[in-house]
Chain A
Amino acid sequence: MTWVYALLALATVAIILGVLYRPLGDYMAWVYTSRKDWKVERGIYKVIGVDSKTEQTWQAYLRSVLAFSAIGLLIVYGLQRLQQWLPYSLGLPAPSEHLSFNTAASFVGNTNWQSYSPELTVGYTVQFAGLAVQNFVSGAVGIAVAIALVRGFAYRRSGTIGNFWVDLIRGTLRILLPIAVIGAIVLMIGGVIQNFNGFTTVTTLTGATQTIPGGPVASQEVIKLLGTNGGGFFNANSSHPFENPTAWTNVFQVLLMLVIPFSLPRTFGRIVGDNRQGYAILSVMAILYVASFSILTALESAGMGTAPELAGGAMEGKEQRFGILGSTLFATTSTGTSTGAVNSMHDSYTALGGMMPMLNMMLGEVTPGGVGSGIYAILILAVIAVFISGLLIGRTPEYLGKKIGPREIKLAALYILVMPTLVLAGTAMSFAIPGIREDVENTSIWNPGIHGMSEVLYAFTSAANNNGSAFAGLTANTPWLNTALGVVILLGRFVPIVFVLALAGSLAAQDKVPTTSGTLPTHRPMFIGLLTVVTILVTALTFFPVLALGPLAEGLM
């Protein structure tokens, strides 16, 4: 029966996404190509002194991205450190320096790794002025960078790749904000709370007293998912009934996470003028997503041991109201979109099942990836796939009419270097440096042995891929992990962006090569298959040795 439900759940999600694919994709393409500014946008441009009609070179675009993010980082850090003097702080003190840094990096980097219990650490002002703002704009930054790369493919002999400020503001105001408003209302209908009540003390049926935090959850919740951020209002994230009360809100949350990443291929196809290219990219994302979901569901349903067999599956760490399917669907979506929200505890999954969320991230977040970051990551892999297949047909390779020469390959190669290096170096350093190892072993790891290693590996994988989910048995609120993960998040977010924008600049400067019958069609099943294999080979394969030491060693027992 599990499989019938699995199919039904997938079909529901697929049909709704399918219906939205074209209108949303086309709408987003229009947003980024329209020449008209809204009145409110013109007001903003006037205030920040931007001429919306001038485009930027890739260097200028990059400088804008970095400057904007650096300012965001300072603001979020500052707000936390000054929390005790801020209004609506609920009387909470300022978090420590390293925790504040980690949180700032995490929200600016669209990661939302949380080393803390949000409801007990940050007040409403930090939530709203700091975290919620970043939830919107860090997502908009991701889409902007992706659009810049797409423009690189679409433009001919152009020195510019668009205007970052225009892309940022349009993405926020025209895409994220309207969908968020609708989404928040739907969530509230579903029972997600939205108030400013602070802590309410109640007496339970048994006579004990309990302090229940309230807050503006629905408005936070929607952008947490829509912007593939993942930072929950509550520590329990989407498994908390105030965040995700019912089975149908669970499916709605899954849809919120997927809707933009799965529609961006349409935007891409639209802007480059060939919708079939969008379908090809979409197919690769969907194939990997469905495969990952199926494997995870199979592994979790077949959980071995007395308890899982009695429960009909590995139910430890999963909410009864979502069941195995609701949990695996959410986990696949959340780790595949770089959201990192959880409605079940990945740490408690079966050993091999727990490997699947990790693998989703190790693929470089392309199934379908975060807002914007998913499509630019897969386009980089497409460049590499095109390069290899171009050689195989005897032409110097080209993608969408753009030649893939030494410079383009160099940038793509540097891109794919970053993530594995950060994950492996971070994990290795946690165990290699004696002082740090002691700290990690004694303070952070609560499950010594193979699983403890997996927890650390998961943490660095999540940080480097800007996911934000965790094997939560790990205590990450330590100076080493807060700092190291914060640095990994920033490097994992912005170093690849440097290469993506440089690639966009280099592609935009080229003229287009005309398509002939000697050109490799990049919209046919063969290329889709090749790109799928390349994605698995150049990213996930790197991690085979460490996975053998962690989940594989644990799971093959």
Chain B
Amino acid sequence: MSTITEPRPKPAEAPTRKGGFTWEQVRAALPGAFRKLNPKEQWRNPVMFLVWVGAALTTVLAISEPFIGGPADSGGTVVPWQFTWAIAVWLWLTVLFANLAESVAEGRGKAQAETLRKTRTSTMANRVASYDPATDAAAERAATTQISSSDLALGDVVVVTAGELIPGDGDIVWGIASVDESAITGESAPVVRESGGDRSAVTGGTRVLSDRIVVRITSKPGETFVDRMIALVEGASRQKTPNEIALNILLASLSIIFVVVALTLNPIASYAAAPVSVTVLVALLVCLIPTTIGALLSAIGIAGMDRLVQRNVLAMSGRAVEAAGDVTTLLLDKTGTITYGNRRASEFVRLGGVREQDLVRAAALSSLADPTPEGVSIVELAEQEHGEFDRNTTGEIVPFTAQTRMSGLDLPDGTQIRKGAGSAVIAWLEEGGKRLPSSLLAELDEYVERISQSGGTPLVVATKDTAGEGTLLGVVHLKDVVKEGLPAKFAEMRSMGIRTVMITGDNPLTAAAIAKEAGVDDFLAEATPEDKLAYIRKEQEGGNLVAMTGDGTNDAPALAQADVGVAMNSGTSAAKEAGNMVDLDSDPSKLIDVVRIGKQLLITRGALTTFSIANDIAKYFAIIPAMFMGVFPQLAALNIMGLHSPASAVLSAIIFNAIVIVFLIPLALRGVKYRPGNASSILGRNLAVYGLGGVIAPFIGIWVIDLVVRLIPGF
């Protein structure tokens, strides 16, 4: 496998997009917000549709009032002439603010969609007329025809050479090439794609930088990866998730109850009190139905998807994002997620009678010319433990080969230094019938065994002088280094109720050692794709939700089986098809972020729902006394905020109801801050902030607004 350039992880979030929204975003979103005033658009959201109907109704009333002799008395109170107008305006603003929230959320995806669209421009493709993989795999002799990329069909085979755009999604059937995928990943470093193996997938719209490849097209035009990405980031194909549907049902049911309350109030009031005006009834209804969450619900969903996009993860469905919040079992690949993926020297173990500095020097010299991370780490460790040494030692470099299984350096004085697998080094020393003393071999065996058992790789170091006399010096302990802070992170996961399982191809002994060090709950050693699939099935049998990452074609069944399957963008198209998310950075540790974002999405919804419902208490205390103070002055006892007049109380409640949406847009877009913890502590904190806060905030807000509203003449 030739991975020349691994894509570097990108900074998680561009700084400009971090908090809430900017004025430019608002300006860009305004036209969309007005367009959404169309009742057809509103129909999808029952709560806001009710507000829309109320706004339309009060507008009609406001227009007709001058002709029917001013606004009617409400609940025995004379109403100022501006009242209906003011309510109508603020109701329209309420609808507009809700639209604005959605537009701003969508706007953040629009920019990304624009750049993606550019890659979709039609190019010319060299289609191979009749591809014969057996005799002409490189398609050098076959005839090609030039057709537009938009005319390509599933199964077509095309030839792409350096400098050309790949015309459609497909798998490389022949060749190797470096490809610039910056158009979709934003990563400027080119990646290598080659036929066979797990890096054969190419994406339409990306550019081949070198070499020539033959690609079999795997997607229809219009259904390519880029097409799907555009639809996703624009929110066009956003479907409501099960949880969002459930919440919508609950909100609709609360709205219906309050519609019943509003509709039945006047008949009942007509008996012993005085009926209230339609405007006040509409105001009561709008205040009581959960407008805050109703207005922000879709923005929260879009923003949640967007947060994933910002982290270069594409969720193929919102359902997957939500499922991520529920995941109870995380399957994590050892390499790249738990360990750095390359082994590092951690210790020099000298054999009896050898001077430590001899061992360290030999190990360092043999690694000087070794560019692998292992080699570099040996030199670093040597310098760390024994100070600087002469890096300019000259000599002939002996590179590692599969035959010798050793590498090293031949010094000008004829001394040979080698490091490598134990058996290979011993064989080298015993060349020409020499025998090493068995006590020495036993000692070496002991060290090698100890290092292996602890999950490390032993690297034996030896020298041979000009006379061919060999000396066994010791062992370098190469260790799979676990990333810093992982045990804490996994403990955090545990407290969130998530089990972490390490997947590795290592033998059980090594796997157990690394699992222990990293603090995962379980591990799957010598894991084949079938093992993974079986493990996922077993977990799901027990009711767990499983998330995993994968890139190979043989990962596809497991990715499809998992509740959240994150496919690496570097993987095969089969893997990408099977998973429900694609990580453009191909960073398996992203899975943890995905879980966090899923939870954050749900919490944001819950927080604003709680806030919205809790608001009703204060609104009741504003509106109920105001409605009937004319006939029952004693209800003034309920006016605990001391609002100025019935008209100003109702208007203040409506204004608060509208303005609070604007105040909460940043929260909806950014998401509620998620701090891991166990269920009780999270619930306690969020209930205190959004429940108790939701009770108190409107009392203060309405009171303050009333202080201003009372200055309007007539109120």
Residues of B within 8 A of A410 (CB): 246, 249
Which candidate, A86-94, A333-341, A419-427, is the interface stretch facing chain B? A419-427
Q: How far is the CA of A408 from the CA of B256 in the complex (A)?
A: 18
Q: How far is the CA of A550 from the CA of B263 in the complex (A)?
A: 17
Per the 8 Å Cβ criterion, residues 590-646 of B in contact with A are: 598-603, 605-607, 609-610, 613-614, 616-617, 620, 624-625, 627-628, 631-632, 634-635, 637-638
Residues of A within 8 A of B624 (CB): 544-545, 548
Assess whether A304 is interfacial by the CB under 8 Å rule.
no
A526 near B268 with CB under 8 A, answer: no
Which candidate, B192-200, B398-406, B530-538, B676-684, is the interface stretch facing chain A? B676-684
Which candidate, A119-127, A279-287, A390-398, is the interface stretch facing chain B? A390-398
A552 near B635 with CB under 8 A, answer: yes
Q: A545-B265, A552-B635 are in contact. Are A521 and B680 (CB under 8 A)?
A: yes
Q: How far is the CA of A459 from the CA of B325 in the complex (A)?
A: 47
Residues of A within 8 A of B284 (CB): 545
Q: For A409, give the chain B residue with the smallest CB separation.
A: B246
Q: A391-B602, A413-B253 are in contact. Are A520 and B264 (CB under 8 A)?
A: no
Assess whether A8 is interfacial by the CB under 8 Å rule.
no
B679 near A420 with CB under 8 A, answer: no
Q: For A541, give the chain B residue with the smallest CB separation.
A: B616
Report whether over half of chain B's contact residues are helix, strand or loop; otherwise say mixed.
Answer: helix
Per the 8 Å Cβ criterion, residues 241-258 of B in contact with A are: 242-243, 245-247, 249-250, 252-254, 256-258
Which candidate, B29-37, B270-278, B342-350, is the interface stretch facing chain A? B270-278
B residues apposed to A, CB below 8 Å: 242-243, 245-247, 249-250, 252-254, 256-258, 260-261, 263-265, 267-273, 284, 322, 325-326, 328, 494-499, 542-544, 598-603, 605-607, 609-610, 613-614, 616-617, 620, 624-625, 627-628, 631-632, 634-635, 637-638, 674, 678-680, 682-684, 686-687, 690-691
Q: How far is the CA of A537 from the CA of B600 in the complex (A)?
A: 26
Given contacts A417-B257, A549-B272, 17 further A-B contacts (CB under 8 A): A391-B605, A391-B607, A392-B603, A394-B600, A410-B249, A414-B253, A421-B260, A431-B270, A441-B271, A513-B544, A514-B544, A517-B496, A520-B683, A541-B620, A549-B632, A556-B632, A556-B634
Q: Which of B246, B269, B495 has the most CB of A within 10 A?
A: B246
B269 near A549 with CB under 8 A, answer: yes
By the criterion of a CB under 8 Å from any partner CB, how many residues of chain A are at the interface? Answer: 68
Q: How far is the CA of A556 from the CA of B254 in the complex (A)?
A: 29
Assess whether A512 is interfacial by the CB under 8 Å rule.
yes
Q: How far is the CA of A412 from the CA of B544 in the complex (A)?
A: 25
Report whether over half of chain A's contact residues are helix, strand or loop; otherwise say mixed.
Answer: helix
- 8 A-B pairs with C-beta separation under 8 A: A387-B250, A391-B607, A401-B543, A409-B246, A453-B272, A513-B328, A537-B614, A548-B628
Per the 8 Å Cβ criterion, residues 441-494 of A in contact with B are: 441, 448-450, 452-453, 457
CB distance from B462 to the nearest CB of A (A): 52
A391 near B680 with CB under 8 A, answer: no
A 482-508 to B, binary, CB cutoff 8 A, 1 in contact else 0: 000000000000000000000000000
Q: How far is the CA of A396 from the CA of B631 in the complex (A)?
A: 47
Q: How far is the CA of A389 from the CA of B691 in the complex (A)?
A: 11
Q: How far is the CA of A428 from the CA of B544 in the complex (A)?
A: 50
Q: How far is the CA of A546 from the CA of B270 in the complex (A)?
A: 12
Contact of B257 among A420, A513, A548, A549 (CB under 8 A): A420
Contact of B497 among A413, A437, A452, A517 (CB under 8 A): A517
B273 near A519 with CB under 8 A, answer: no
Q: For B613, give the chain A residue with the smallest CB separation.
A: A537
Assess whether A7 is interfacial by the CB under 8 Å rule.
no
A 519-557 to B, binary, CB cutoff 8 A, 1 in contact else 0: 111001010001001000110011011101110110011
A394 near B260 with CB under 8 A, answer: no
Assess whether A188 is interfacial by the CB under 8 Å rule.
no
Q: How far is the CA of A428 from the CA of B259 in the complex (A)?
A: 13
Q: For B632, give the chain A residue with the smallest CB separation.
A: A553
Assess whether A516 is interfacial by the CB under 8 Å rule.
yes
Assess whether A60 is interfacial by the CB under 8 Å rule.
no
CB distance from A520 to the nearest CB of B (A): 4
CB distance from A350 to the nearest CB of B (A): 14
Residues of B within 8 A of A524 (CB): 680
B268 near A384 with CB under 8 A, answer: no
A521 near B272 with CB under 8 A, answer: no
Q: Which of A387, A393, A524, A526 has the most CB of B within 10 A?
A: A393
In the complex, the 5 A-B pairs of residues with the closest C-beta atoms, listed nearest first:
A518-B497, A391-B606, A394-B599, A516-B497, A413-B253
Q: How far is the CA of A442 from the CA of B253 in the complex (A)?
A: 36
CB distance from B229 to the nearest CB of A (A): 26
A residues apposed to B, CB below 8 Å: 384, 387-396, 401, 404-406, 408-410, 412-414, 416-417, 420-421, 424-425, 427-429, 431-432, 437, 441, 448-450, 452-453, 457, 511-514, 516-521, 524, 526, 530, 533, 537-538, 541-542, 544-546, 548-550, 552-553, 556-557
B683 near A392 with CB under 8 A, answer: yes
Contact of B634 among A387, A516, A550, A553 (CB under 8 A): A553
Residues of B within 8 A of A453 (CB): 268, 271-272
B674 near A394 with CB under 8 A, answer: yes
Contact of A546 among B254, B265, B326 (CB under 8 A): B265
A417 near B638 with CB under 8 A, answer: no
A424 near B638 with CB under 8 A, answer: no
CB distance from A160 to the nearest CB of B (A): 21
B628 near A391 with CB under 8 A, answer: no
Residues of A within 8 A of B249 (CB): 406, 409-410, 413
Q: How far is the CA of A420 from the CA of B262 in the complex (A)?
A: 12
Contact of B242 among A396, A417, A427, A556 (CB under 8 A): A396
Q: For A426, give the chain B residue with the smallest CB separation.
A: B264
A392 near B687 with CB under 8 A, answer: yes
Q: For B263, give the chain A residue with the smallest CB separation.
A: A428
Q: For B273, give the chain A residue with the smallest CB separation.
A: A549
A516 near B328 with CB under 8 A, answer: yes
Contact of B267 among A420, A428, A521, A530 (CB under 8 A): A428
Q: How far is the CA of A39 from the CA of B261 in the complex (A)?
A: 53
Q: How far is the CA of A392 from the CA of B498 in the complex (A)?
A: 17
A416 near B257 with CB under 8 A, answer: yes
Q: For B240, give the chain A residue with the smallest CB separation.
A: A406
B543 near A513 with CB under 8 A, answer: yes
Residues of A within 8 A of B606 (CB): 388-394
Q: How far is the CA of A412 from the CA of B252 in the complex (A)?
A: 12
Contact of B498 among A416, A432, A518 (CB under 8 A): A518
Residues of A within 8 A of B625 (CB): 548
Q: A394-B602, A541-B620, A548-B624 are in contact. Are A428 and B253 (CB under 8 A)?
A: no
Residues of A within 8 A of B253 (CB): 413-414, 416-417
Q: For A510, give the chain B residue with the smallest CB separation.
A: B543
CB distance from B37 to the nearest CB of A (A): 28
Q: How far is the CA of A111 from the CA of B544 in the complex (A)?
A: 44
Residues of B within 8 A of A391 (CB): 243, 247, 602-603, 605-607, 609
Contact of B635 among A428, A546, A556 (CB under 8 A): A556
Q: For A156, give the chain B residue with the smallest CB separation.
A: B543
Q: For A407, give the chain B residue with the smallest CB separation.
A: B246
Q: Which of B264, B607, B691 has the most CB of A within 10 A?
A: B264
Residues of B within 8 A of A394 (CB): 325, 598-603, 606, 674, 682
Residues of B within 8 A of A424 (CB): 260-261, 264, 268
Q: How far is the CA of A537 from the CA of B631 in the complex (A)?
A: 27
